[in-house]
Amino acid sequence: MFSYCIEPDALATFQWLTCYLTTGVHFSFYLSFLNVLGILAVTAPIALSFGFFGAIAARSQIVPLSLLGKGYIAVVRGVPDIAFFLFFVIALDQGFEWLRHQALCPNWTDPIRQGNDFLVCPRAKLPLGTAPQTVHQLYAYGLAIITFALVFGAFAANVIFGAMLAVPKAQLETAEAYGMSQHQIFWRILVPQMWIYALPGLSNLWQILIKATPLLFLLGIEDVVYWARELGGTKTARFTSFPHGDWRMWYFLALLIFYLFMTWSSEKFLKKIMQKLTKGQDMAGTAMSTTRDFS
Amino acid sequence: MSCLETIQSYAMRSLGIGERLLPRSDFTLCEQFTLIGSGMIWNIYFGLMALCVGFFFATALAVAKSTTNPWVRKPAKWFIFLFRGSPLFIQFFFAYFLFLNLKGAFQFFSPFTAAWLGALIVLFLNTAAYSAEIFYGALQSIPKGEIEAADAYGLSGWHKFRRIIWPTMLRLAWPSYTNEAIFLFHATTLVFFSGFPAWQQRGDALYYASYFADKTFNPFVPYPILALYFIILTLIIISLSGLVNRRLNSHLPTNMRIQFKFRLNIIR
């Protein structure tokens, strides 16, 4: 990047580092941090809406719907989440391909599961074998985001379900006394008041979501973990003009600090919001806390 | 191979006892159940050891965090923040490469790069930090009256802590601590996906589950089996901790006892 970088072997340590840290691959590494932030920004609202509808389903009067909502919440909670991540990525992929297979190749007679293979007709492959590399990457991101949203949606559903129950009954009864319909009570009284009760839980969830992003690596995304492993590994002079030993420890230290900063700053920010929103309200028993256990 | 033979050859596979080669094709349900169950040995080992040792360190940390002396309080606070504020996954990676570097410098550190010790240390420090925060919260909410009563009886120092503060802290913290235990066991599944190598394919339950899922390209069998094992483990933990909870609350009328509530608490 700098003009003196042409002959790195001759440089002093500091200049060598400035050259080393501005190579092309390092910019991919820095970009992957933005990637993490981007995925957080996309996943959070989707997970929140999944959670909202999950909670509506769970408190529905219709029994199958309420069972579905409650089952969704319960199953995701009892099992290690990483198992879910590994499971959903394959399951979703196969599910989509199977649906496309049914729609696009109705005359296909071979079984889809042949021994240890999952074979759909070529036209149903996702993404298509002929698709460019970027489509493959986008598809991987899409699957990862849906997986995250599904798992975190269940947690959000749990929080929102609890928050809906926490809204004082008297508020709803008053609304009824004023002649509001159930629909009106839900949207005009319950939902606006529920958020304040949901906020401690949701901010907790946000912290957990931040800390879950390195798991993207397991879903086959070239994220911060991927790059830290790639760049940190031992490099010999044959393949790069910046040879170095095993520096993976330092790269992961950088990641550790990045995540500490993320959780620290969002904790500060969420505390501010909570203070602002609860000003003058009696919120006994719903104390703000970003710990996972006393929330 | 009958199912009994499969169990004989694979039940201890995760420890390196029995058949050396993993099944390669035509996986039976029995093989999947046996191997994934065999992997659970590691999950239970990691979880149990980290909890047992971490408990004492967590108590010390919680007490340190609630003292007034800043030289004691601040380090405890930073330690807790360090381990609670960063992802466990990254902690595993960092620790593994740290131990790898240390191993290059000192022979002493060579066992630390193996999962049984290296990952256990990370899990121990991690659960100590999370539990310390739980215990700290409990210490803050000990009823003033109990401490005043202890003072009035002339108890002080270690005696007051051992007889009054500690039991009450445990009683208040126990439901949350149970949650921590459950999710620590869930977190042990991360070990073999984060740098620490599964030597000779001796891995934990998730390691084998993903082995089967990769080989058969069918996630719908191994992962539900894993889920089943973990749900059983969770139920065992809940019932065991229920017994402890009863003992901790035995002096209270039933309506004043704190009940366990399964709370969300995932990835660390």
What are B53-73's pLDDT values in tens digits? Answer: 999 999 999 999 999 999 999
- Cβ atoms of B38 and B11 within 8 Å: the answer is yes
Q: Which residues of B touch A83 (CB under 8 A)?
A: 189, 206, 209, 223, 226-227, 230
Query: CB distance B186–A80 less than 8 Å?
Result: yes
Per the model's pLDDT, the better-predicted residue between B107 and B51 turns out to be: B51
The answer to whether position A290 is within a domain reads: no
The answer to whether position A285 is within a domain reads: no
Q: Which of A110-124, A186-200, B89-103, B139-153 has the lowest average pLDDT?
A: A110-124
Query: CB distance A294–B82 less than 8 Å?
Result: no
Query: CB distance A249–B97 less than 8 Å?
Result: yes
Give the separation between CA B89 and CA A212, rounded to whole angstroms: 8
The answer to whether position A291 is within a domain reads: no
Smallest CA-to-CA distance from A258 within A288, A213, A289, A293 is with A213
Domain of A114 in residue numbering reads as 3-277
The answer to whether position A289 is within a domain reads: no
**A228 to chain B: nearest residue by CA?**
B93
Q: Which residues contact A79 (CB under 8 A, 6 or more apart)?
A: B186, B226, B227, B230, B231
Per-residue pLDDT at B245 exceeds 50: yes
Residue with tokens 């949901």: A198
- Cβ atoms of B21 and B35 within 8 Å: the answer is no
Confidence bin at A288 (pLDDT 50/70/90): very low
The answer to whether position A239 is within a domain reads: yes
- Quick check: A212 contacting B, CB < 8 Å? yes
In chain B, % helix, strand, coil (3-state, to 5) comes to: 75, 0, 25
CATH number for the domain spanning A124: value is 1.10.3720.10
Indicate the CATH number of B33-256 among 3.40.50.20, 1.10.3720.10, 1.20.210.10, 1.10.8.50.
1.10.3720.10
The answer to whether position A226 is within a domain reads: yes
Give the separation between CA B179 and CA B246, rounded to whole angstroms: 16
Kind and range of the H or E run holding A103: helix A81-104
Confidence bin at A115 (pLDDT 50/70/90): low
The confidence score (pLDDT) of residue A295 equals: 24
The confidence score (pLDDT) of residue A44 equals: 92
The confidence score (pLDDT) of residue A289 equals: 38
- Quick check: A144 contacting B, CB < 8 Å? no
- Quick check: A294 contacting B, CB < 8 Å? yes
Show which of residues 75-134 on chain B sit within 8 Å of chain A, judged by CB atoms.
81-82, 84-91, 93-94, 97-98, 100-101, 130, 133-134
Q: Distance, in angstroms, between B99 CA and closest chain A CA?
A: 9
Show which of residues 175-204 on chain A sit within 8 Å of chain B, judged by CB atoms.
201, 204
Calculate ∠ Cα B69-B72-B78, nearest 5°: 125
Question: Per the structure, how many domains does chain A have?
Answer: 1
Q: Which tokens hold the place of A146? A: 């849906």
The answer to whether position A178 is within a domain reads: yes
Q: Which residues of A touch B215 (CB under 8 A)?
A: 116
Residue with tokens 């031992």: A234
- Cβ atoms of B267 and B193 within 8 Å: the answer is no
Q: What is the mean pLDDT of chain B?
A: 88
Q: Give B188-217 pLDDT, tens digit per residue.
A: 999 998 888 888 888 899 999 999 988 888
Q: Give A209-235 pLDDT, tens digit per residue.
A: 898 888 888 887 888 888 888 888 888
Mean pLDDT of B162-170: 92
The confidence score (pLDDT) of residue A161 equals: 86
What percent of chain B lies above the pLDDT cut of 90? 51
Q: Give A59-108 pLDDT, tens digit per residue.
A: 888 888 888 888 877 777 667 778 888 888 888 888 888 888 888 877 77
The full set of domain ranges for chain B reads 33-256
Q: What is the mean pLDDT of chain A?
A: 82
Calculate ∠ Cα A185-A68-A163, nearest 5°: 40
Out of A91, A116, A252, the one facing B215 most closely (by C-beta) is A116
Mean pLDDT of A3-13: 74
Q: Distance, in angstroms, between B152 CA and closest chain A CA?
A: 31
Query: CB distance A211–B187 less than 8 Å?
Result: no
- Quick check: B206 contacting A, CB < 8 Å? yes
Q: Give A230-275 pLDDT, tens digit per residue.
A: 888 888 777 777 778 888 889 999 999 999 999 999 999 988 988 8
Give the separation between CA B173 and CA B187, rounded to whole angstroms: 20
The confidence score (pLDDT) of residue A78 equals: 67
Confidence bin at A291 (pLDDT 50/70/90): very low
The answer to whether position A292 is within a domain reads: no
